[in-house]
Copies of this chain bind each other. A is one copy, B any other.
Amino acid sequence: MKQFTSVSDVTDLSAFVEQAIRLKADPFAFSGLGRNKTLGLIFLNPSLRTRLSTQKAAANLGMHVMVMNIDKEGWALEMKDHAIMNGSTVEHIRDAAAVIGKYCDIVGLRSFPGLKNREEDYSEEILKKFIRYVNVPVISLESATLHPLQSFADLISIEENRKSKKPKVVLTWAPHIKPLPQAVANSFAEWMTKAEMNLVITHPKGYDLDTKYTGNAAVSYKQEEALKDADFVYVKNWSSYFDYGKILSAGKGWMLTNKKLEQTNRAKVMHCLPVRRGLELSHEILDGKQSLVLQQAENRVYAAQTVLKTLLENLSSKK
């Protein structure tokens, strides 16, 4: 593994999950592995969970971490090739990336989509340029289209809670007041598919995701039907992919409730957080016994630690 930007970067998914579970049981077992290695965490957008969990994961491995909130620290990056930079951007991404790569052994990058131009966002221009010029292994801390550290933590959480070999996993759209990226949903679909879960996706018409990520998962516009016998229900809002970045309706009736859960196989309920309580998901579910949201958040550490450990081992073997 030379980078971690999607599930495709993982060669053996079940071994990866097992590794994470072993690290969770013994987080400091490899505390010397990251000695004299520096992780740079570069945020073009705000972060709480991703920043803290990845920082903790790196510390568990003995790495030195440098965090840079480029969005907040006043450093507007130019993204266009061949730009004449006589406007508000102060540095080109290719220079910034190349410089950061001189100071770090591994770099994480968070870069949200603009949600204005689908082609641009789905080209992953920013992440790809960053990878091209930084010249050290890159971990996506959520890109325009994917959030692989989250999906990995989700898969670990499912592994810890599943009662059958191939559980039914339902990804359900939820209401929100702001247009959100499709990244978490795309990424979850991709990981569940590769992990060979029985995945069903449900959302109102118009919210279909790109089939590049959802593959042959079943899609239903009827939430109650989809929820039937579910073992896991993953709740997430996303804006429209086809009418790009738009909120098509208020989504009335799509918030998950305890009543709806009755149709499931006592399903565990998942959400990547942050969650808008009372809008995306009810207080009663979030605070109830079926919620896995804190376990997912905790597993972010071990997802990141597994990725970092793998990249560090690869660095060492190159020498």
A: residues with CB less than 8 A from B are: 27-28, 31, 36, 38, 40, 46-49, 51-53, 55-56, 59-60, 64, 66, 68-70, 72-75, 78, 82-86, 90-92, 95-96, 98-100, 102-104, 177, 273-279, 283, 286, 293-294, 297-298, 301
Contact = CB atoms under 8 A, between A and B. Distances in A.
Q: Looking at A55, A100, A274, A286, which has the most chain B CB atoms within 10 Å of its CB?
A: A274
16 contacts: A27-B36, A40-B52, A47-B73, A48-B68, A48-B73, A48-B96, A48-B100, A52-B100, A56-B104, A72-B74, A78-B277, A85-B277, A86-B276, A90-B276, A92-B277, A103-B298
Copies in the complex: 3
B59 A46 contact: no
Nearest to A49: B99
A46 B90 CA distance: 11
A278 B95 contact: no
Contacts of A90: 274, 276
A278 B36 contact: no
A75 B91 contact: no
A78 B275 CA distance: 11
Contacts of A92: 275, 277
Nearest to A59: B64
B86 A273 contact: no
Interface-centre pick from A98, A102, A286, A293 (highest chain B CB count, 10 A)? A102
B273 A91 contact: yes
Contacts of A55: 66
A102 B58 CA distance: 15
Nearest to A175: B86
Contacts of A75: 46, 48
A70 B55 CA distance: 16
